[in-house]
Each structure stands twice: as C-alpha cells, then as structure tokens.
Chains A and B, each alone.
Chain A
Amino acid sequence: MKIFIPTPPRPFAGGLDTVEATAATVAGALTALTAAHADLRKHLFTPEEKLRAFVNPYLSYEDVRYLPEEEATAVTEKDTLTVIPSIAGGLA
C-alpha cells in the first residue's frame, strides 16, 4: 500500500513523499513505515507507543480513529494511508 508523507515528517523519511509498505492492518503499515524509517517513530508516536494526538491517520478518506476496528482495520495493497498533522491555533 502507499503511505503518503506530508511536508513535516518528510525529512525523517529520507525526503520521500510516498512510502510503499506491505501490511495486513493500519497498525502494521505504521510499524512497517517506522521500521523502514526509524527517525519517523518519535515524530508519530509517544514514548508510550501511542500515536501522537496531533497525528491524524486517514485510510483513503476515512479517519482511522473512527473506524470500528481503528488501527486494527484491515488494509489491502490498493489502499492509501496518510498521516497528517493537525492544524489549529488562535489568539487565545
């Protein structure tokens, strides 16, 4: 499957904007991604091995956290996964 890497984590993925991974689930794909690019792990995961709160995993156009099986959701080689940091702020 293809994993799309947005601008911020790209330097930690060898500058790649897309990474190919073979996995059975979303969690497996993220593990494969960070196994291939170890520096990415601390940007995507907390020291407790949870996805950081500001990292939004999307399987195609579905928010993985709202899928019934969340990160255990099965994937195929035709799927795409995007890990996109959130954007927010404001004056107060």
Chain B
Amino acid sequence: MTTLYLSRDVYKEIRAHGESTYPHECCGALLGTRAESGWHVAASVAAGNASTDSAHNRYRISPLELMKIERAAREQGLDIAGFYHSHPDHPAQWSETDFNEAHWLGCSYVITAIENGHATLTNSFALIGASEETKRFEPEPIDLSD
C-alpha cells in the first residue's frame, strides 16, 4: 500500500477550494515527486471545472489546461502526482464515474466531501494496475506534515 504525503498547507488549499466552489465540484492537480512509499506532494494547482453543464456532480479539466499544468510541473522538476476534486453533499468515496474516467495509472486521486459548504472528510485513492483493463482504486493513507 502507498501513502500520500501532503503538507498541511496543501491539504488546507484543496479543502478550501472545494468549499469555495460549493455546490459545484472543484478540481485540480497535485505536483510532486515519487518515492517507493508513495507520492510526496510539493504543491497543488487549482483548475477550472470544464464540465460547466453539470458542475454540481461532474468535473473535467480541459486537456489544454492539463497540458499547461504538466509542462509547468516539468519546468519545476516535478511530476503530476495526482488530482483532487470535491463531492458536494456526498461521501469522500470514489464513484463509478470517477473510476471509469480515471486513466492516470500510478497517480493519487483525492476526494473531499463538502457538506453544506464545509469540508469534512478527505480521502485518497491510488489508481493501480498495469492497464485500463486491470486498473483499480486502492485506499491510501494521507500523511500530513507541517
């Protein structure tokens, strides 16, 4: 099992992002470096939710914005470690849509439940497997540091 290593600042940022977009879903990327035990996140990057016609229960980062995030990460010597999004008034548990749309094998998917505008639980799931056909989400602990 892997662990997602987050600073308290990044943890606060992604939860605050979910509160700010409520009742819509927020989304963004996590940049970091990979260790055997899991991703060490150095920064989060807030993204726009391109799923504008159904932002209350869907999110999408436009490929162009995603590419710019990826390119900027490279210039900082970082990789995309994973992504975060919020579930307004729903549990911090991956949905069937989350799974079907998850294609970043080896990355972490972080979900924060936002209840009545306030962030409650934040969970992380590692997308593991060798291919689309064998992929699966595995819960991973979040290790917070100052």
Contacts and interface: CB of A to CB of B under 8 A. Distances in A.
B37 interface: no
A11 B106 contact: yes
B57 A92 contact: yes
Interface stretch (A19-27, A30-38, A78-86): A78-86
A63 B58 contact: no
Contacts of A91: 25, 57, 87-88, 90, 95, 97-98
Contact of A88 (B58, B74, B131): B58
B56 to A, nearest CB: 9
A7 B107 contact: yes
A14 interface: no
A58 B66 CA distance: 11
Please classify the interface of chain B as helix (H, G, I), strand (E, B), loop, or mixed, using the class held by over half of its residues: mixed
B21 to A, nearest CB: 12
Contacts, number: 101
B58 A90 contact: yes
B133 to A, nearest CB: 9
B79 A87 contact: no
Interface residues of A, number: 24
A56 interface: yes
B103 A90 contact: no
A42 B51 CA distance: 28
B66 A84 contact: yes
10 contacts: A54-B101, A56-B66, A58-B63, A84-B70, A87-B83, A88-B97, A89-B58, A89-B95, A91-B90, A92-B95
Given A6-B80, A89-B59, A91-B25, 19 more contacts: A4-B70, A8-B105, A17-B74, A42-B131, A52-B132, A82-B70, A86-B60, A86-B103, A87-B29, A87-B83, A88-B59, A89-B85, A89-B98, A89-B101, A90-B54, A90-B58, A90-B95, A91-B87, A92-B57
